[in-house]
A and B are shown apart, each in its own frame.
Chain A
Amino acid sequence: MATAGALSLSLALTACSSSTKSTGTKSGPIKIGISLSLTGDFSADGKAFQQGYQLWANAINASGGLLGRQVTLDIVNDASSPVQVATNYQKLISVDHADLTFGPFSTLLTKAASQVVARYGYAFVEGAGGGPSVFTSGLHNVYDVSLPVANNLVSSAKWLAAMPAATRPKTAAYATEDDPFTAPQLDAARAVLEAAGVKTVYNKVYPPETTDYGPIAAGMISAKADVVLVGTLLPDVTAFIKQFVQQKYNPKAFIATAGPDQGAQFIKNVGANHTQGIMVPNEWYPTVTTPGNAELIAAYLKAYGGTAQDVSSDVPEGYAVGEVTAQAVKAIGSLDQTKLNAELHSGTFTSVQGPVQFDATGQNIKAFAYAFQWQNGALVPYQPDAGQLLVPAPPATTAILYPKPVW
């Protein structure tokens, strides 16, 4: 206890005395401080993020480093704890004297960490803290290179809204788990569709501990909506699909925030014959033709084996954090955090996930979601064209299925 107390006091004193514009040493490797969830609830994502960060570090070191210096990753485990993640960043900055900081996994941990990192004036570039609460904290040093969570369904909603009047859905049903990941997505999609005149005939939020989805499914079925949008993970989307199949309810489009993106697990749970036409958004896919993505996939397969389909979307998120930070650092030619923050706010960047430009709150305004549709046992990517209609994204060539085939 005494040791812990002494360490806390030491951290606090160091924090008080340290410069708020740390620029690190002028020689030797550039140290990047990162807290990741290597154990606990987010461990799978945390480890995938670690792979993304490491692959980026390998790539930049192989190309001569950053500002002519090699980079090293100082990664510590936060055990998926918001308390630990705050302590970790305090230590990484004030004790380990990290030159740069990269974000942890999840909105929950990013929010907790960003308050600490902001105190030191560090730029905090991250790839998995896309929940609205991160951007409403009043901080000006957080930059999420990924798509803001709330915009995940916007491409799909705009596609439905942009359809010719004859085919455009007249009614829509919405149901979402009461969750900061899913609920904002449904709200954003509903705003787009209602503005286009698509009438909301069912809209319910259900608690996360729900196990009996029957009444919610029955409500959507009774509403006879043309299209259904659900804020789900795998268990609830499976339940809804089963109920719709049993009740022979066939909406023209069925779009879920998550669950259908789980590949083999999704097929096993709903049955391959019930996947056709179901849609789910995502920001990235292994064969996307963004700059550097093919190299990332090749490096991943060399380092970790498997197939391209095995690459978690956390990997490019981590990789993109490194890419954007490196571009900003090269643009200013130093590690000065004040200049780095200014550059991140004003510059435009590229990444394996696509273009990046931050608004005043740190959200990536250039990011958009691909819409994926299950067709013949595979997820086919679609992207919005100039008229907001969804067209095949390379290498896909088949037209999107609308209306969705019957169960």
Chain B
Amino acid sequence: MSTELAKAVVDGVLTGGVYALMAAGLTLIFGVMEIINIAQGILVVLGAYLSYVLQTHLGLDPFLGLFITVPVMFFVGVGIEWGFVRRLKQQNRTALSILVTFAVAIVIEGILTQFFSGDLRSLHAWYVDRSLHLLGFYLPYIYLLGFALAVAGLAALQVFLYRTRTGYSIRASMQNRAGAQLVGIDINRVSAITFGIGAAVTAAGGMVFGATTTFNPNSGYDLISRLLVIVVLGGLGSIGGALIAAVVALVIEDVTAVLWSPVWASTMFFAVLIVVLIVRPNGLFGRQAARAQ
């Protein structure tokens, strides 16, 4: 049992990294723009499909394909922000964003279904089937690489936010949108870049998602509920919080599944979430904490 438990913890940490990669964009977009992007789940799936297309038609390795899919997803994000999100009035912006991004998700799902049908697909590469034998554990390379990609990606995002001029603008907008505007920051430009980055990150998350599980155009719905829970636990707007929350969520679920039953895994996680929110209503690294970073 102890080996099984240790394995559950390791699996939870590695899988949590993958979910953090998918949730990072969601929390960043909320932090800057105060909109809840329900389309984040379908954007992850779109990222998986882009990797799938590059792999099946060009024979491109999914990790190498990120050099194409990340920029493509960035511009998809910029397009969504310009086409739909920017049009929202300031009043009730957050509530309206749920409806608008949900509509965007349905449109993308429809397009994907038209092109790819509802068939389940998955990405293949040598590292998907093989694992590293270490200390008695078989650690799948795809999860190790996915976790490494998550840590590197989130670290790069932190560096971008804290060491670049655009990053300063984004953080200023997170702290005080009106104030940032007053000091000359182009809020529309910052919002477009933020949404673009949020979508670009999902290209990486989507690639790992597509390599670790099967997906079809409907897969976004299962994802978005879990991603929302992760960013709420981590604290809306906190990228580091998303990583920690994702790891905590997956470890709790995996350990519960091993010790008790998979049926109670999600219940146990939500119980922990409720306790955390009672103690810290803004999540582990909630908005105030995130802005103080």
- Chain A residues close to B by CB (< 8 Å): 178, 204-207, 209-212, 214-216, 218-219, 222, 234-235, 238-239, 242-243, 245-248, 265, 268-269, 271, 274
Contact = CB atoms under 8 A, between A and B. Distances in A.
B262 A210 contact: yes
A216 B131 contact: no
Contacts of A274: 129
B160 interface: no
29 contacts: A204-B261, A204-B262, A207-B262, A207-B263, A209-B222, A209-B266, A211-B213, A211-B223, A214-B8, A214-B11, A214-B15, A215-B11, A215-B255, A215-B257, A216-B257, A218-B7, A218-B11, A222-B4, A238-B213, A238-B214, A242-B128, A242-B212, A245-B129, A246-B131, A247-B140, A248-B138, A269-B122, A269-B214, A271-B129
Interface string B260-272: 0111011000000
Nearest to B254: A215
A274 B130 CA distance: 13
Give the one of B120, B121, B130, B258 with max A CB within 10 A.
B120
Contacts of A207: 262-263, 266
Contact of B263 (A178, A218, A247, A271): A178
A235 B129 contact: no
Nearest to A218: B7
A246 B129 contact: yes
A238 B214 CA distance: 7
A204 B255 CA distance: 14
A212 B131 contact: no
Contacts of A271: 124, 129
A190 B157 CA distance: 51
A215 B262 contact: yes
A204 B261 CA distance: 7
Nearest to B129: A245
Interface of B: 3-4, 7-8, 11, 15, 119-122, 124, 128-131, 138, 140, 142, 212-214, 222-223, 226, 250, 253-255, 257-258, 261-263, 265-266
A268 B124 CA distance: 9
A245 B223 CA distance: 25
Contacts of B262: 204-207, 210, 215-216
B263 A246 contact: no
Given A246-B130, A246-B131, A218 B4 contact: yes
Task: Identify the interface centre among B15, B128, B138, B250: most chain A CB within 10 Å of its CB.
Answer: B138
- Main secondary structure, interface of A, reads helix
A277 to B, nearest CB: 16
B81 to A, nearest CB: 28
A205 B257 contact: no
Contacts of B212: 242
Interface centre among B128, B214, B265 (most CB of A within 10 A): B214
Contact of B213 (A216, A235, A245, A248): A235
Contact of A235 (B3, B4, B120): B120
Contacts of A214: 8, 11, 15, 254
Contact of A247 (B124, B138, B257): B138
A235 B214 contact: yes
Nearest to A274: B129
Contact of B214 (A206, A218, A234): A234
A234 B4 contact: no
Contacts of B7: 218, 222
A230 to B, nearest CB: 13
A269 B120 contact: yes
A247 B122 CA distance: 19
Contacts of B120: 234-235, 238, 265, 269
B4 A206 contact: no
Contact of B4 (A219, A239, A248): A219
Contacts of B253: 212, 215
Contacts of B138: 246-248
Nearest to A249: B138
The interface centre, meaning the residue of A207, A238, A246, A268 with most chain B CB atoms within 10 A of its CB, is A246
A212 B142 CA distance: 15
B8 A215 contact: yes
A220 B263 CA distance: 16
Contacts of A210: 262, 265
Question: Residue among B140, B226, B257 with the most chain A CB within 10 A?
Answer: B257
A247 B11 CA distance: 12
Contact of B258 (A205, A215, A242, A265): A215
Contact of A205 (B119, B124, B263): B263
A219 B11 CA distance: 12
